[in-house]
Structure 1
């Protein structure tokens, strides 16, 4: 009985004298007395001791019993004393924890810390466990960049053998990365490699707005980023030989150095396909390859080639076909010959796919990232690709995908373990311009709406002369297919004094987008638009005639084809985007016309990726039948830099009319300025040439200028700042070629849109 002296009768008690050589003592007891226990039963303590009835106990075994009782973690003190025929065990129980508190923490909330420690209320106090908890809290602060944090556990004694456990926390300051350096790099500069790693240097702007901090796990991640960067550029022998994170004497900053070995850059040598399967023709699979000899070697191109051939094998009905890349290294020529062998893989099937950890996201959202379903042949490469697609959703903090043996040796179970994270955002903004005055905006965005993988966004913005309302919805897997269904609603109302009339524009646009090739996608859409012009106060006869037509409705269908090499990323330093589309209006409504648009963008990086070159060609055409176009239909806006929005093109009485056709060609260069990378400032230069032309002159009361194709030209320089509010571009322009009535613009500020 707890709290009392328990007597347990054993068979006998005897002292045995061993031979002189052993000179050891043994015991056998008739009674065991246990004292000091309050909560723990005497029988439980005796079980910890492991003393069996009638067993002869040596002094060493008696010590082992002591260690077992102490090792249970239930007792603060334990003593074992043989007294005649009685074994006396005295214990002092650890107290129970009444409550746990945290003091000094402001950066991490109490509820977050409670979820990380092992100790809990109403459990037995264990000093070893508490020390681990203190180390866990310190590690949590280190992950947020506060590596100087200290945690001291304190115990406050209460009545009835209870204690309050208090963790006193000194959070300390964030310790920044003062300098990121690289040793051993020849092909790429420190500046270029700093853009690769996730860690950033803390400098002038970061110290004020968005300072970076030292996190050990991030340094480990940086090593993998560097390896991936070099591997994608043919440096197959690259490795990080070590990292050195040195704390400054003042203990407020780190100096981080990566020691690397780049090795040599390799290119593809001979590319061949051999088949060990009678039903697979090697020549057919050779023709499916896109990689060519002489190209810089990248593992991505090898993986893409394997995936392309395996998909072809599925279409041809070749069961369990696997593609094995056999690489032969030629150090003299710095080439890698790749032989793709078509072989028969093991006859293993996917038994099932188990998904755990998704509390919000529906199982089907994760399952549709797999090309494999239950009963399909097991393909490790496809499982790896599915894992990457799940992570690319950006719905989860972590996403682990593993395969294990199923119910039989020829079956596997794919386990998916995810941890959800927030996917919604609410934004507020304010703006000011000399033409529009003060404006504000509020927006909502959810990337995983109701856990269905759908995207929903809504935005309202307004200024003194403009109100803009927009709602956008996208279902990326319509009817369970690789088809994106989109809905776009928009309403824009303007009372712009510069155009001398008010407008109301409403749009409703559903669309379906699906792949038609590896890099090509096709969109089919329907568009309905409401357009109204009113309250005209100018002197243009053309605009007055168009405003007099009042509100009009347009309804039509269209398509857009895009070809984007960035989808496969075969060349990490270059990419091409091509887009062409047409919309045919006249399905009811008041207008009948065809709208054609085209765009081509090409970008490459040269001089060890320090200089980015980009060329953009755009154009559009409106072809009306019946009624002429109106200003709300025609192209306007900023066709090229160096001119104000709606600042070029046809005019009547110096009032801009817009045009039925536009074309522009823009050349951009971006380069470092030699400033520290932590400032986030780079330079740019541009040359733009473009034209906006053609308008019907019916109703004109004054001279109409610039109706023909007359290209304008402008040059300029830019400052590009990676600000906390997003990348901003400050353009300083000079118009080289302009026409009477054009409105030039020497400076403008815009948000950078990355190609």
Structure 2
């Protein structure tokens, strides 16, 4: 009896629960079209809990919510009686991602800039963003005509392969470089002192004529330095623009500059709060000359000399800075060198990043500081400029990084490499040798070792020659340039009817003895072979016919104030050359040469 009562009670409760349930929900949510996504997940993301009271607004919100998950390419929700029917079409899975037509940038590099990966859900919006990221990567490499078209290959089981078809187009070169506001230096002069170069057909081995925003920033620094090395300490770059030509095949770069006034040195002094410093000794380290043009290089050389003196005399943590007090009315300036006792920081590690080609040691040997040295802003700035002057990088950036030690810092050197090779062709005519053709190939950072290699071959109807040159810029990791030269050539004189053949080899080295003073040593061995040709009856030719050797040892001292050692446009240079022949061979002599060069613009063009 008690069992029957309990059973009846349970049936009544179940009927009441079903009635309440039916009244609350009025039906069920039916999900169709899902294969990977569980039904429960679809219902949860839809946000629908009450089928009976679901309004059109709630259904519309559920559709948007399901689209937001990115799981589905199509969502439809409809109400049938007491039930809600949710029909979905799932986005396919990406099986494989491939790149086609990408000659300039590798697959691995493109994978780093795109977000979608294999086994991810196919998302049209993300594919669009990844296509733009690929275009941006190509823009940074100088390709502004690039076109990226993503293509989908449908596979069974709702999977796809994604292929990015890339049409690179041509590299956008620098079509023209303009300077506006240059009154004291011509546009051609200023072009010589920046990294960016205008497009030229013979620069196919170089990236100097390719637009690069980082390189443009370096150009601004180099321009400012050039002007300050010529006395223009008010120099400013008002604006720099790089406009893509309407044809999208090149850039027009414009520097808007204000040169300001040129200053001369009125006086200089040393100020310090460090006790016991001998100011007279420090004044001797200053390279400035009164009434001479104010030169940033002289200021830097003075700071470096004082820093070395301080370090050698127990003031290792003193910092040398300078201040230039200018008088625009008189055109004179006073330079104050300030020495203060800085915080005692040591350099823990020096990390060099992004030098994929250039070896670490090539960069490190240009550093004025090493790991374990005390931290010096002066020497760090000098090191940065030395690395820039290598010409191997379009950008050089020093960043300090804290370490676990309170008195130590790490220095990160971030570089961006640029092309260092070149090829030149020459065609000419000479009355003695006839038409001549010449080709030269040069690489200034051979195998990333900082070595310079050059090969020159020339041929004419009456002459031919070959020259090979090799230079090591860090002999035994010291600031010494050393190398060797090989030469062979032959000339036939069609008038005197004799041939002259020369073969030679030489060793050389050069180093900076003092600031601006260079000393070089060299040894040369030459072999001459003079012979008659075409029945020459010249007694002179007959006397000198035969083979002779010349063995000579020489040295060179060179000092100057040139604005550029490679392409000087201003300044003077004095050179003393001495050679002694007779260390073996057939000729004996002592030769002295004194050469004085002065460079100045013959015609000043105020071109913009």
Q: What CA RMSD, in Å, does the superposition of the two structures yield over aligned residues? A: 5.1
Other-structure match for 2:559: 563
Give the match's secondary structure for 2:372. coil
Instruction: From the superposition, tell whether residues 589 and 226 of structure 1 become closer, same or farther in structure 2 (CA, over 3 Å).
Output: closer
Q: Alignment partner for residue 387 of structure 1, among 384, 387, 391?
A: 384
Q: How does 1:569-588 map to 2 (within 5 A)?
A: 574-588=570-584
Does structure 1 retain, via aligned residues, the 8 Å contact 2:575–2:596? Answer: yes
Point out which structure has higher relative CO (alpha carbons under 8 A, 6+ apart): 2
Does structure 2 retain, via aligned residues, the 8 Å contact 1:273–1:282? Answer: yes
Q: Which deviations, in whole Å up to 9, do the C-alpha atoms of 1:40-91 show, x marking residues without a partner?
A: 78999999999xxxxxxxxxxx999999986776654679999999999967
- Return 250-259 or 271-280, whichever deviates more: 250-259
How far apart, in 1, do the equivalents of 2:252 and 2:528 lie?
A: 60
Other-structure match for 1:543: 541
Give the match's secondary structure for 1:516. strand
Larger helix proportion of the pair: 2
Give the match's secondary structure for 1:291. coil
Instruction: From the superposition, tell whether residues 45 and 172 of structure 1 become closer, same or farther in structure 2 (CA, over 3 Å).
Output: farther
Does structure 2 retain, via aligned residues, the 8 Å contact 1:519–1:567? Answer: no
Q: Which deviations, in whole Å up to 9, do the C-alpha atoms of 1:474-514 show, x marking residues without a partner?
A: 22222222222222222222332234222222212122322
Give the match's secondary structure for 1:532. strand
Other-structure match for 2:597: 601
Q: Alignment partner for residue 344 of structure 1, among 341, 345, 353?
A: 341
Instruction: From the superposition, tell whether residues 168 and 239 of structure 1 become closer, same or farther in structure 2 (CA, over 3 Å).
Output: same
Give the match's secondary structure for 2:562. helix
How far apart, in 2, do the equivalents of 1:583 and 1:191 lie?
A: 37
1:154 CA drift (Å): 5.2
Other-structure match for 1:162: 160
Q: Does 1:464 align with 2:461?
A: yes
1:276 CA drift (Å): 2.4
Instruction: From the superposition, tell whether residues 282 and 167 of structure 1 become closer, same or farther in structure 2 (CA, over 3 Å).
Output: same
How far apart, in 2, do the equivalents of 1:153 and 1:38 lie?
A: 26
Q: Which deviations, in whole Å up to 9, do the C-alpha atoms of 1:312-354 show, x marking residues without a partner?
A: 2234343212112244454654554332122212111111222
1:238 CA drift (Å): 4.4
Does structure 1 retain, via aligned residues, the 8 Å contact 2:225–2:296? Answer: no
How far apart, in 2, do the equivalents of 1:370 and 1:139 lie?
A: 34
How far apart, in 2, do the equivalents of 1:533 and 1:466 lie?
A: 14
Instruction: From the superposition, tell whether residues 121 and 589 of structure 1 become closer, same or farther in structure 2 (CA, over 3 Å).
Output: same
Give the match's secondary structure for 2:374. coil
Q: Which deviations, in whole Å up to 9, do the C-alpha atoms of 1:395-419 show, x marking residues without a partner?
A: 3455443221223021111223445
Instruction: From the superposition, tell whether residues 70 and 367 of structure 1 become closer, same or farther in structure 2 (CA, over 3 Å).
Output: farther
How far apart, in 2, do the equivalents of 1:484 and 1:594 lie?
A: 25
Give the match's secondary structure for 1:455. strand
Q: Does 1:283 align with 2:280?
A: yes
Count of residue pairs brought into register by the alignment = 563
Normalised by the length of structure 2, the TM-score is 0.74
How far apart, in 2, do the equivalents of 1:460 and 1:574 lie?
A: 32
Q: Alignment partner for residue 354 of structure 1, among 335, 351, 356?
A: 351
How far apart, in 2, do the equivalents of 1:300 and 1:416 lie?
A: 23
How far apart, in 2, do the equivalents of 1:451 and 1:246 lie?
A: 33
How far apart, in 2, do the equivalents of 1:585 and 1:202 lie?
A: 46
Instruction: From the superposition, tell whether residues 120 and 447 of structure 1 become closer, same or farther in structure 2 (CA, over 3 Å).
Output: farther
Q: Does 1:552 align with 2:544?
A: no
How far apart, in 1, do the equivalents of 2:246 and 2:359 lie?
A: 51
1:463 CA drift (Å): 2.7
Normalised by the length of structure 1, the TM-score is 0.61
Q: Which deviations, in whole Å up to 9, do the C-alpha atoms of 1:551-576 show, x marking residues without a partner?
A: 1223232222222333888xx96322
Does structure 2 retain, via aligned residues, the 8 Å contact 1:34–1:88? Answer: yes
Q: How does 1:580-659 map to 2 (within 5 A)?
A: 580-604=576-600, 612=601
Q: Does 1:494 align with 2:491?
A: yes
How far apart, in 2, do the equivalents of 1:478 and 1:252 lie?
A: 43
Other-structure match for 2:90: 92
How far apart, in 1, do the equivalents of 2:279 and 2:45 lie?
A: 69
Q: Which deviations, in whole Å up to 9, do the C-alpha atoms of 1:73-131 show, x marking residues without a partner?
A: 6654679999999999967335416444557x9x9678699467515673533334333
Q: Which deviations, in whole Å up to 9, do the C-alpha atoms of 1:124-159 show, x marking residues without a partner?
A: 333343333333454456567775766555555454
How far apart, in 2, do the equivalents of 1:462 and 1:364 lie?
A: 39
Q: Where does structure 1 lack aligned partners over 5 or more consecutive residues? A: 1-12, 14-26, 51-61, 605-611, 613-668, 678-755
Does structure 1 retain, via aligned residues, the 8 Å contact 2:172–2:248? Answer: no
- Return 481-490 or 437-446, whichever deviates more: 437-446
Other-structure match for 2:370: 373
Other-structure match for 1:473: 470
1:601 CA drift (Å): 0.7
Instruction: From the superposition, tell whether residues 585 and 280 of structure 1 become closer, same or farther in structure 2 (CA, over 3 Å).
Output: same
How far apart, in 2, do the equivalents of 1:172 and 1:443 lie?
A: 26
How far apart, in 2, do the equivalents of 1:47 and 1:581 lie?
A: 90
Instruction: From the superposition, tell whether residues 328 and 41 of structure 1 become closer, same or farther in structure 2 (CA, over 3 Å).
Output: farther
1:376 CA drift (Å): 0.9
Other-structure match for 1:133: 130
Other-structure match for 1:521: 518
Q: Where does structure 2 lack aligned partners over 5 or more consecutive residues? A: 1-16, 18-23, 48-58
How far apart, in 2, do the equivalents of 1:399 and 1:67 lie?
A: 49
Q: Which deviations, in whole Å up to 9, do the C-alpha atoms of 1:695-719 show, x marking residues without a partner?
A: xxxxxxxxxxxxxxxxxxxxxxxxx
Does structure 1 retain, via aligned residues, the 8 Å contact 2:319–2:378? Answer: no
- Return 222-231 or 493-502, whichever deviates more: 222-231
Other-structure match for 1:627: none
Does structure 2 retain, via aligned residues, the 8 Å contact 1:48–1:65? Answer: yes
